[in-house]
């Protein structure tokens, strides 16, 4: 149970996206059932105005939250790659600096 709470805190945006999408789908389905019970368009309009609009809005919010979470994950991966590259560059610079030390004067050949 504790792992579930930690996962929910870590991925709050994905959890909110799932809740928003489910709320949107439920709203659209309830609106469809409400519309299907009435033959007149004037009786169907309140269901379309409330449930379909809210359902579409909730689906849009859910999709936006999910994409935002994916983008945040990609930025975290890019930061890890950048840190790794900086460490490798620093190590290579140290190797180059150590290998390009000047030779002792006794090993030079004078001409």
Question: Using CA atoms, how far apart are residues 86 and 29, in angstroms rounded to an integer?
Answer: 52
Question: Using CA atoms, how far apart are residues 26 and 30, in angstroms rounded to an integer?
Answer: 6
What's the half-sphere exposure (Cβ side, CA atoms, 13 Å) at 111?
A: 0
The pLDDT of residue 54 is 93
Question: Using CA atoms, how far apart are residues 83 and 74, in angstroms rounded to an integer?
Answer: 14
The pLDDT of residue 44 is 81
CA distances from residue 27 to 20, 65, 105 in whole angstroms, order as listed: 10, 19, 85
pLDDT over 90 (residue 26): yes
| Collapsed DSSP state (helix, strand, coil) of residue 1 | coil
The two structure tokens encoding residue 39: 């033959």
Over residues 46-90, the pLDDT tens digits come to 878 888 899 999 999 999 999 999 999 999 999 999 999 999 999
pLDDT over 90 (residue 41): no
The pLDDT of residue 110 is 56
SS3 content of the chain, % helix, strand, coil (to 5): 85, 0, 15
Q: How is residue 40 annotated by DSSP?
A: S
Of the chain, the percentage scoring pLDDT greater than 90 comes to 52
């Amino acid at each position: 149970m504790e792992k579930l709470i930690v996962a929910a805190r870590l991925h709050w945006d994905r959890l909110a996206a799932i809740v928003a999408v489910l709320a949107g789908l439920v709203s659209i389905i309830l609106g469809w059932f409400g519309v299907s019970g009435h033959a007149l368009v004037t009786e169907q309009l309140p269901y379309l105005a409330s449930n379909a609009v809210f359902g579409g809005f909730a689906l849009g919010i859910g999709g936006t939250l999910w994409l935002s979470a994916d983008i945040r994950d990609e930025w975290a991966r890019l930061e890890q790659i950048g840190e790794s590259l900086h460490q490798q560059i620093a190590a290579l610079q140290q190797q180059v600096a150590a290998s390009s030390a000047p030779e002792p004067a006794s090993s030079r050949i004078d001409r």
